[in-house]
Structure 1
Amino acid sequence: MENSTHTIIEFTRELHTCDINDKSITDSTVRVIWAYHHEDVEEAGPKYHDSNRGTKSLRLLNPEKANVLSVDLPSFDLVNQDVPIPNKDTTYWCQMFKIPVFQEKHHVIKVEPVIQRGHESLVHHILLYQCSNNFNDSVLDSGHECYHPNMPDAFLTCETVIFAWAIGGEGFSYPPHVGLSLGTPFDPHYVLLEVHYDNPTYEEGLIDNSGLRLFHTMDTRDYDAGVIEAGLWVSLFHTIPPGMPEFRTEGHCTLECLEEALEAEKPSGIHVFAVLLHAHLAGRGIRLRHFRKGEEMKLLAYDDDFDFNFQEFQYLKEERTILPGDNLITECRYNTKDRAEMTWGGLSTRSEMCLSYLLYYPRINLTRCASIPDIMEQLQFIGVKEIYRPVT
């Protein structure tokens, strides 16, 4: 169709064409190339597009960004106020906020990123953590660099991720039967907003006002949502050698860990409805594998063409149940062919991570389920024969 401002073209293609020159379309990220000319066509056919062209990463098979919500919902913002961005490649900035006081239970049913115009490539990801409720408003100051020796002690109580957004992602709407609970004694009163700023060109004088907007309703849903961070604990023990066209690491959410959390509260299991897969620049593919009683089940989520600059929650086509006795493995594939030095696990964009964030219901008392490689085995593998003092 065409109107005074837009031309819309619809086309179809088989997902798998059996033609060696065609890429199969899967649940993974697809790089789409686009080009157009301002005028549609002349007598000889379409006009050459000239410089109106580009690429975009898309997940073509992401089930419809479910239930597009009406915009007249009440909302509140958790956004930074004039944060000065240092001229270094990676900064994690943390700011505590108080959630508005609700007299009764509410559900957040949609979360949108609020990114300062022009800072779309600077703001790499945003995590929202629930903090201890035993504070007063004196903890609410202008924010600090996260994971820093001078960071306030209050930040150490903020361990439970309640929402995650990453670059390239858009707003997220919860399914119609689930919401993020606010207003009860067990819900967050104070939250920590962690923003990862990526400034590889060391630009100076940047001031940022980005964060999240939360839309909420008193018309509560059937279930409260939770987030589990699974995968490899972020640390220097995560090592990736240089010069590798392909190298895999894996993080385990073990049977014992899940069993302990589920048996106590939810022996009938929890239901996963969306997953965010997360690695850094060397990441090429991530798979979230699911095992039950030693048998591997269908992949929970995967992206075999991971794009660091396009990370968003994948809605699962069908919700997946996780039961006591299950375990999960987050498996990451890296390429370090162009690197001459070791790549270590860490917070910097040029370090690495291997994580998956599972959005699920009903909420249980489990926030992280991760493993760490055995450092002694690694040292033996590279030929260390004897260690004179403990490795810390």
Structure 2
Amino acid sequence: MPKYIMILLSIWLIVIDRCSGVSSPIKPFTLYKNSTELKNDTADLWWTINDAWKEITFELHIKSADWIIGLGISSAGGMKGVDIVVGWVESSSKVYLQYAVPSTNTTYHGKIYKAPTGYSIKRHAIAHKMLIDPKNVNLVHHLKLYECDPMTTLNDDQLPDGLCDEIVDEIKFCSLNFATVWAVGGDAMREFPEEAGCGIGGDYEIKYYMIQMHYDNSRLDSSTASIPSALTVPPRMEQFAIDSYCPSEVTRNIPKSGNNVIFALPHTHLQRISVWTKIIRNNAAMQYLFNSEKYDFNYQYENRLLKSIKLYPGDSCATRCIYNTKNKDKITSGCERTRDEMCLHMFTYYPRMNNFYACITVNDDSAGVLWIQLR
């Protein structure tokens, strides 16, 4: 029967500044200023503290499989406020690392991955499944898979991985085009219709993807301020509508035969009532692209349309989000926290276009409105 032993290592940043013998037969990845043998012939630790950057680089070697290892970093050796990473190695030599969500109410974490290179010709994924640990699903607000711009140059040995605000310049070319999205209450499995799929491998131009995780520790209070966007909802309102308009210029490059919309995912936060988007053609409202008349934050499905809907060149779209703030005494701003608000409506279509990603409403410096088409 395998042993499961938790080893919690607290690094006392004030007093540790020494090196002692280590027993690992494997050389560390790089040079470190400090090292110590934590357990004879079993566990060795190397680390370097960069005071200027306020960073600790460390490497831990553990002898044995089927152990669960916890490494904690604490200023005083206690558990309160400690940063912990947990990992283990199965007897099959498969390695697992568990990310510890920071102790703030909102965390956006991004990590870029290289697409599989084992396919000599382009293949098409016909379905995908989200794998979220049921024990931690209450912390996950959403998961977005982005395609990186094909012109982006990345170092495969140092792909960006960290808090989005801290690596914003490194991930800016991987933050525009959604490949897929999962949000609270959504289905784990998503299947494409028979005639559609997601390209991968071969000469397919997308070589890198980014997974962005929004973790929500809503039970924690935080002093982080929200920065108002184009969306501001007053308090004590039974119904308050926010309208967004995407003009015909955005769809001018759609093929004459049209694009086929097959999935719809509305997304707002806790004050929502409904979300809908209508197609406007020749100055007349034609039909709903999707109407989430009874929107529920806890059940955000990526809805597969019963029949695909056509978008043609020159079409424009109008989106409306309606909010109820009867339970609030303060203004609700548009921002990233769950307690703030958003008004998003995401759609999946085919055939794929390289210049048809998003249409966004933002405030400009003169408090006017800009319509932006993202490449």
Q: Give the TM bin, normalised by the shorter chain.
A: 0.5 to 0.7
Instruction: Tell me by how many angstroms 1:137 deviates.
Output: 0.4
8 Å contact kept, 2:121–2:203? no
Look up the match of 1:114. Answer: 131
SS class of match (1:154): helix
Per the alignment, do residues 97 and 370 of structure 1 end up closer, same or farther by CA in structure 2, a change over 3 Å counting? same
**Structure (1/2) with the larger strand percentage:** 2
Distance, in Å, in 2 between the alignment partners of 1:332 and 1:138 is 43
**Candidates 99, 103, 113, aligned match of 1:97:** 113
Instruction: Tell me by how many angstroms 1:324 deviates.
Output: 0.9
Is 1:358 aligned to residue 374 of structure 2?
no
Distance, in Å, in 2 between the alignment partners of 1:296 and 1:132 is 34
Look up the match of 1:138. Answer: 157
Look up the match of 1:66. Answer: none
Look up the match of 2:323. Answer: 334
CA RMSD of aligned residues (A): 2.1
Look up the match of 1:84. Answer: 100
Instruction: Tell me by how many angstroms 1:152 deviates.
Output: 5.3
Question: What is the 5 A alignment of 1:305-344?
Answer: 305-344=294-333
**Candidates 233, 246, 251, aligned match of 2:239:** 246
Question: 4+ runs of 1 displaced by more than 6 Å?
Answer: none
Look up the match of 2:201. Answer: 183
Distance, in Å, in 2 between the alignment partners of 1:235 and 1:278 is 18
Task: State the Cα deviation string for residues 232-274 of structure 1 (Å, max 9, x = none).
Answer: xx96221111111110002222111111x32xxx222101011
Look up the match of 1:160. Answer: 177
Look up the match of 2:52. Answer: none
- Structure 2: tracts of 5 or more residues without a match: 1-95, 222-226, 370-375
8 Å contact kept, 1:178–1:361? yes
Question: What is the 5 A alignment of 1:193-232?
Answer: 193-202=211-220
Instruction: Tell me by how many angstroms 1:317 deviates.
Output: 1.7
Question: What is the 5 A alignment of 1:277-316?
Answer: 277-316=266-305
Look up the match of 2:144. Answer: 127
Look up the match of 2:357. Answer: 367
**Candidates 245, 249, 259, aligned match of 1:270:** 259
Distance, in Å, in 2 between the alignment partners of 1:200 and 1:255 is 39
8 Å contact kept, 1:251–1:372? no
Per the alignment, do residues 199 and 318 of structure 1 end up closer, same or farther by CA in structure 2, a change over 3 Å counting? same
Instruction: Tell me by how many angstroms 1:153 deviates.
Output: 2.6
Task: State the Cα deviation string for residues 11-66 of structure 1 (Å, max 9, x = none).
Answer: xxxxxxxxxxxxxxxxxxxxxxxxxxxxxxxxxxxxxxxxxxxxxxxxxxxxxxxx
Distance, in Å, in 2 between the alignment partners of 1:185 and 1:235 is 42
Task: State the Cα deviation string for residues 369-392 of structure 1 (Å, max 9, x = none).
Answer: 12235675689xxxxxxxxxxxxx
Look up the match of 1:220. Answer: none
Instruction: Tell me by how many angstroms 1:86 deviates.
Output: 1.4
Distance, in Å, in 1 between the alignment partners of 2:306 and 2:365 is 38
Instruction: Tell me by how many angstroms 1:81 deviates.
Output: 4.0
Which residue identity does 1:137 align to in structure 2? D
Distance, in Å, in 1 between the alignment partners of 2:280 and 2:259 is 15
Is 1:348 aligned to residue 337 of structure 2?
yes
Is 1:192 aligned to residue 228 of structure 2?
no
8 Å contact kept, 2:229–2:363? no
- Structure 1: tracts of 5 or more residues without a match: 1-79, 204-233, 380-392
